[in-house]
Amino acid sequence: MMQYLGPLIVTSADLHKQFNTRSWQKHTEAWDYIFSTAKCFIDKRLKSSPAWSNDLLNTISSNHPLTKKQLSGLFTELQIGGVETTANSLLWLIYNLSRHSDVQEKVLDEIQAVLPPGQSPSADHLQKMPYLKACIKESMRLTPTVPFTSRTMEEDTNLGGYVIPRGVITMINFHAMTWNEDYFPDAREYKPERWLKPRASVNPFASTPFGVGKRMCVGRRLAELQLQLALCWIIQNFYICATDSEPCKGIISGLMIPSRQLPVSLKKR
């Protein structure tokens, strides 16, 4: 689905729909397949043994607030928007850390200073791990999972002296912003420390991996929590090792994905 999304972002989706373009056809075919697959698994799960009766799907279904069609839509969107994106962000985070063993040791030192041995991190523990959070923010700046997005202007807007008429599709290139040396010195270097500086030293709109305003990602806090917990567990248990020194480029396919299998291995601590 993601590979067909690009043309619909940079041009009017209404035009694609009106003229039934090949991009529109491929996009709708992909969504039809996704929804039919989700419906199949949802139906199978709802008919399964009572062992699963207390999971989220069965809880929502048993209280009857949603129809089967609405359930399919909800869990499909959750899968597409909340799993693939977070998993891809974790891939890039692991890759960036594999190239910086010194950063890994600093994260481990912070975790060990905050978290008692054998204990899982709580929200209070994570609040005391600013360097761990900085590592995630820096990875999302350097290798953003969503490198660009678009918006249709709702009204005439004067932006930096340029008048953008209502109805025009505008592109927001996150990648260009986060690699801008005016905002981030040594922008192509992975430096988590830059996020530990006073807030006034970093433009809050220079790196917005989850977007801003009313269209900001609704799953932001959940995604951040998942990444924090995952990184905490990985660093506690493994060394993240680079298996070669060649850079791994990104391919834009709706999301920015690695151009090859990540040159990374995990070694037990």
| pLDDT at res. 1 | 65
**Tens place of pLDDT per residue across the chain (269 aa):** 666 777 777 777 888 889 999 989 998 998 898 888 888 988 888 887 666 677 878 888 887 778 888 888 888 887 777 788 999 999 999 999 999 999 999 999 999 999 988 889 999 999 999 999 999 999 999 999 999 888 888 999 998 899 999 989 888 899 999 999 999 999 999 999 999 988 778 888 999 999 888 888 888 998 999 999 999 999 999 999 999 999 999 998 778 999 999 999 999 99
Alpha-carbon distance of 29 to 169, in angstroms, equals: 25
Angle at 89 between CA 87 and CA 91, to 5 degrees: 70
Domains of the chain listed by start with CATH number = 1-65 (no CATH), 66-268 (1.10.630.10)
Q: Is 40 annotated as a binding residue?
A: no
Alpha-carbon distance of 169 to 9, in angstroms, equals: 9
The structure tokens 């399919």 sit at 72
Q: What pTM was estimated for this model as a whole?
A: 0.85
| pLDDT at res. 258 | 93
Strands 162-164 and 250-253: unpaired
Alpha-carbon distance of 199 to 184, in angstroms, equals: 13
Strand runs labelled E in 93-244: 148-152, 157-159, 162-164, 169-173, 238-242
| pLDDT at res. 49 | 65
194: DSSP letter:
G
Angle, helices 130-142 vs 101-114, to 10°: value is 150
